[in-house]
């Protein structure tokens, strides 16, 4: 009985010393993630869910106890992020919808500074863009409108040009619109890194629907010259065995080829690796040692890729039977392009 009484006294004392500052500090401290390192992917998911649930509870208590605290806006931003994350992990659309509702309401808060409203707006746009993954082509117009609306609503926000560049990535089938978005972004951007990306994107865009002089030596000891491939559809994959995303894509691509026509189709790769041994191992693992592969060990400065403005991996160029570059970024719809061009 005495122990229970002592515990109750200590609990009350702890509550008495709780303040908005201490409670907020506890919330922010959890942004660092779980302290325990998971041993497996399954354990990582369990730890993440548990951690986010605890942080969500702290935020809800904070908002309940201190609704007028200046940090309530940020607390709601945190809450929306947690709902979006858990909704994605558990595939529960209601949580994502609730996150979107919170962000939309915050963006409309008349008493919040413009910068805070822009933060909510950017997170809302980001959440919307995440929801379009896998459906970018069908939702292209909505993606473009969303990016442009953010720029118009928050002029001067440095995230606006980034959104325009992201929107441009889904406009490969409309080169005129893609160029316009990139030029709009370039006119607004003050970030050197983003400006380099825009310049690269424009370099690639300038090659579209034109024949290209593409010639290089191969790891196999020969050479590849696209001018010698007339009558064939040529797929050029820029990738890296050091890139997990490239590896996942290549594995899927290799499997998909089994269902695609083989006649008059040629596939070559340009490696942006720095480790030749690792590349050779992956080529063997994927059973693609016979694909002409360029490798010079210079990574992103590869002598073939750099002049073409390659800044993302994998990037997939597809040339028609006349040697004209028809697709700049066929990473997701290569099957459609290959089938179409083989019939031409």
Kindly report the CATH number assigned to the domain that includes residue 120: 1.25.40.10
**Residue 25 belongs to domain spanning:** 9-204
CA 20 to chain centre: 36
Residue 138 contacts by C-beta under 8 Å, 6 or more apart in sequence? none
**How many Cβ atoms are within 10 Å of 81's Cβ, its own excluded?**
20
**What is the predicted pLDDT for the residue at 136?**
83
**What is the predicted pLDDT for the residue at 10?**
41
- Are the CB atoms for 235 and 314 separated by under 8 Å? no
- Are the CB atoms for 212 and 309 separated by under 8 Å? no
- Are the CB atoms for 240 and 278 separated by under 8 Å? no
**What is the predicted pLDDT for the residue at 329?**
86
219 falls within a domain: yes
Q: Which parts of the chain have pLDDT scores under 50?
A: 2, 4-14
**What Rg, from alpha-carbon coordinates, does the chain have?**
26
Query: Are residues 151 and 228 both part of a single domain?
Result: no
> How many Å apart are CA 83 and CA 93, to the nearest integer?
10
Could you give the C-alpha distances from 174 to 79, 133, 169, 326, in angstroms and in order? 38, 19, 10, 12
The torsion of the CA quartet 251, 256, 258, 263, rounded to 10 degrees, works out to: -110
Query: Are residues 199 and 219 both part of a single domain?
Result: no
Query: Are residues 83 and 221 both part of a single domain?
Result: no
209 falls within a domain: no
Query: Are residues 200 and 220 both part of a single domain?
Result: no
Query: Are residues 34 and 150 both part of a single domain?
Result: yes
Q: At which of 204, 233, 249 does a domain end?
A: 204
Decide: helix, strand or coil at residue 62.
helix
> How many Å apart are CA 206 and CA 217, to the nearest integer?
24
**What is the predicted pLDDT for the residue at 17?**
61
Could you give the C-alpha distances from 114 to 69, 117, 119, 157, 305, in angstroms and in order? 18, 5, 9, 10, 42
**What is the predicted pLDDT for the residue at 313?**
94
Query: Are residues 169 and 249 both part of a single domain?
Result: no
Measuring CA to CA, which residue among 149, 162, 76 is closest to residue 112? Answer: 76
4 falls within a domain: no
**What is the predicted pLDDT for the residue at 302?**
97
The CATH number of residue 292's host domain is 3.40.30.10
- Are the CB atoms for 195 and 176 separated by under 8 Å? no
Q: At which of 151, 180, 204 does a domain end?
A: 204
**What is the predicted pLDDT for the residue at 263?**
87
Q: At which of 141, 169, 204 does a domain end?
A: 204
Query: Are residues 148 and 20 both part of a single domain?
Result: yes
Decide: helix, strand or coil at residue 268.
strand
Residues of the chain with pLDDT > 70, as a percent, come to 95
Q: Helix H segments across the chain?
A: 2-17, 20-29, 41-65, 72-90, 93-107, 114-131, 140-153, 159-168, 175-188, 192-205, 244-256, 276-285, 334-343
Measuring CA to CA, which residue among 329, 144, 302, 161 is closest to residue 219? Answer: 302
**How many Cβ atoms are within 10 Å of 129's Cβ, its own excluded?**
19
Query: Are residues 49 and 171 both part of a single domain?
Result: yes
Residue 341 contacts by C-beta under 8 Å, 6 or more apart in sequence? 233, 318, 320, 321, 326
Query: Are residues 55 and 197 both part of a single domain?
Result: yes
Query: Are residues 22 and 72 both part of a single domain?
Result: yes
122 falls within a domain: yes
**What is the predicted pLDDT for the residue at 262?**
82
243 falls within a domain: yes
Query: Are residues 40 and 169 both part of a single domain?
Result: yes
**What is the predicted pLDDT for the residue at 103?**
97
Q: Indicate the pTM of the whole model.
A: 0.81
**What is the predicted pLDDT for the residue at 4?**
46
210 falls within a domain: no
3 falls within a domain: no
Q: How many domains does the chain have?
A: 2
337 falls within a domain: yes
Query: Are residues 193 and 242 both part of a single domain?
Result: no
């Amino acid at each position: 009985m005495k122990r229970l009484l002592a515990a109750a006294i200590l609990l009350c004392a702890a509550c008495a010393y709780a303040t908005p500052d201490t409670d907020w500090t506890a919330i922010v401290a959890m942004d660092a993630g779980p302290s325990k390192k998971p041993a497996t992917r399954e354990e990582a998911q369990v730890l993440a869910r548990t951690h986010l649930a605890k942080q969500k509870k702290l935020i809800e208590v904070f908002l309940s106890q201190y609704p007028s605290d200046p940090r309530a806006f940020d607390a709601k931003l945190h809450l929306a992020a947690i709902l979006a994350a858990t909704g994605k992990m558990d595939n529960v659309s209601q949580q994502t919808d609730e996150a979107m509702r919170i962000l939309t309401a915050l963006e409309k808060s008349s008493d919040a500074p413009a910068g805070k409203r822009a933060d909510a707006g950017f997170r809302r746009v980001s959440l919307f863009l995440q929801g379009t993954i896998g459906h970018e082509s069908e939702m292209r117009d909505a993606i473009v409108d969303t990016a442009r609306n953010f720029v118009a609503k928050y002029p001067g926000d440095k995230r606006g040009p980034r959104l325009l560049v992201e929107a441009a990535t889904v406009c490969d089938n409309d080169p005129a619109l893609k160029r316009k978005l990139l030029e709009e972004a370039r006119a607004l951007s003050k970030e050197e890194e983003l400006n380099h990306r825009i310049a690269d994107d424009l370099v690639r865009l300038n090659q579209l629907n034109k024949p290209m002089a593409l010639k290089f030596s191969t790891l196999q000891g020969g050479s590849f010259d696209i001018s010698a491939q007339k009558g064939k559809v040529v797929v050029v994959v820029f990738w890296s065995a050091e890139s997990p995303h490239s590896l996942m894509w290549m594995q899927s691509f290799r499997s998909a080829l089994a269902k695609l026509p083989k006649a008059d189709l040629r596939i070559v790769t340009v490696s942006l690796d720095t480790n030749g041994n690792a590349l050779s191992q992956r080529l063997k693992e994927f059973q693609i040692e016979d694909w002409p592969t360029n490798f010079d060990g210079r990574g992103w400065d590869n002598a073939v890729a750099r002049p073409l403005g390659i800044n993302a991996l994998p990037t997939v160029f597809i040339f028609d039977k006349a040697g004209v570059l028809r697709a700049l970024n066929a990473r997701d719809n290569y099957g459609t392009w290959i089938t179409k061009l083989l019939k031409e």
